[in-house]
Amino acid sequence: MTGTRVVIVMGGDPADRSHATAELLLDDGGTALILTGDPDAVDPRLDTTDEGPVEVRADDPTTRLEAYRSGAVDPDDDVLAALATGSDAPLAAVLGWEYARRAAAAGVWDTVVAELDGDLAAVRRIAAAGDLSAFVESRWPAHVRFASMAAGDRADSRVREAHRMSLLATDVSDFLAGPIEVVAVGSAPGRTVALAELARGAVTPSVAPDGSGGYRMECPVPAPPVSSPTVEGDGLRLEHHGFRALLPLPALLSRCVLVASHFDPGECTVVATFVPDPDLWPPNLVPTGSADRSG
């Protein structure tokens, strides 16, 4: 990644977002790229002429979906066709983030701004990479994909496409969890930013021994989850109203088993208890009874 500043401006109406974008760009100066679904709502204080420092590009999910399908192993595959239907589908959102990621990596602009419509709708777009990863993993687990990919061009076309989607989602997840600023306008901007930070996997949980041979993880959340957290691969899945967040687990906990969890309303945190997985730890480091607790 280059030194390009990446900012997500979300919430409110087009005028609110364009004003917030103009404020941050006018303060910084330099060149900028604005990716927006409302290119006609750009603040007039910004110089967007051919010789100006600010370039505006319309967010066009339909075109990106068509381009992605055209590069598929089997463009007419019915699963891919279903995933590529609808401009608000997870694949469409992930492709939009991939566009922003490549724009930032190009190093052409000092700042790349992605403007997102709505509050919860914008949070869902941020969480889309985790949704796409979960979809692929549930149908074509990593060990199945990698075993099939060993056959090269002879691998099953659908598995090859699933592998391509998985790599795309991973790149986007890494990008979103990186050094990105989030600016929210409209109602309850603080809560919107907190939800966005959770959705993009930028929340860092704390981990400490629980005194019983296991580990206690505490993760700050802006609202109580609607169901108990679960472990998916090397991440902790949190279900909230309207979106799902996947937080990377510390390496230590990826070798453990989740055995209990609860929401602490006083601290506004999810508290989860892990015990060492007997299959992944030396026997002398696994506390007595852990095997039974991990079920």
In percent, the amount of the chain with pLDDT more than 90 equals: 64
Q: What b/e readout covers 178-187, taking b as 16+ CB neighbours within 10 angstroms?
A: eebebbbbee
In the chain, DSSP assigns E strands to: 5-11, 32-36, 54-58, 111-116, 180-185, 206-209, 215-220, 230-232, 235-240, 243-248, 256-264, 269-276
In percent, the amount of the chain with pLDDT more than 70 equals: 96
**pLDDT value at residue 148:** 82
Residue 28: pLDDT band by 50, 70, 90 thresholds?
confident
31-55 pLDDT tens trace: 999 999 999 999 999 999 999 999 9
Taking the C-alpha atoms of residue 209 and residue 214, their distance in angstroms, rounded to an integer, is 6
Residue 176: pLDDT band by 50, 70, 90 thresholds?
very high
**pLDDT value at residue 6:** 98
**pLDDT value at residue 171:** 97
pLDDT (average), residues 76-92: 88
pLDDT (average), residues 142-146: 85
Q: Checking phi first, is residue 258 left (phi over 0); if not, alpha (psi -120 to 50) or beta? A: beta
Residue 219, exposed/middle/buried by CB under 10 A (0-12, 13-18, 19+)?
buried
**pLDDT value at residue 295:** 41
Residue 293: pLDDT band by 50, 70, 90 thresholds?
low
- pTM: predicted TM-score of the whole model, two decimal places: 0.88
For residues 124 and 89, the answer to whether their CB atoms sit within 8 Å is no
**pLDDT value at residue 49:** 96
- Signed CA dihedral, 27, 31, 37, 43: sign only: positive
205-263 pLDDT tens trace: 999 999 988 999 999 999 899 999 999 878 899 999 889 898 888 888 988 999 999 99
**pLDDT value at residue 147:** 84
Count the neighbouring beta carbons within 10 Å of the beta carbon of residue 278. Answer: 15
Contacts of 132 (CB under 8 A, 6+ apart): 90, 91, 94, 165, 168, 169
Whether residue 294 has pLDDT greater than 60? no
Q: Are strands 5-11 and 180-185 parallel, antiparallel or unpaired?
A: parallel
Residue 89: pLDDT band by 50, 70, 90 thresholds?
confident
Angle at 40 between CA 60 and CA 55, to 5 degrees: 70
150 or 183, which is more confident: 183
Taking the C-alpha atoms of residue 49 and residue 278, their distance in angstroms, rounded to an integer, is 63
Residue 158: pLDDT band by 50, 70, 90 thresholds?
confident
**pLDDT value at residue 103:** 97
pLDDT (average), residues 54-82: 92
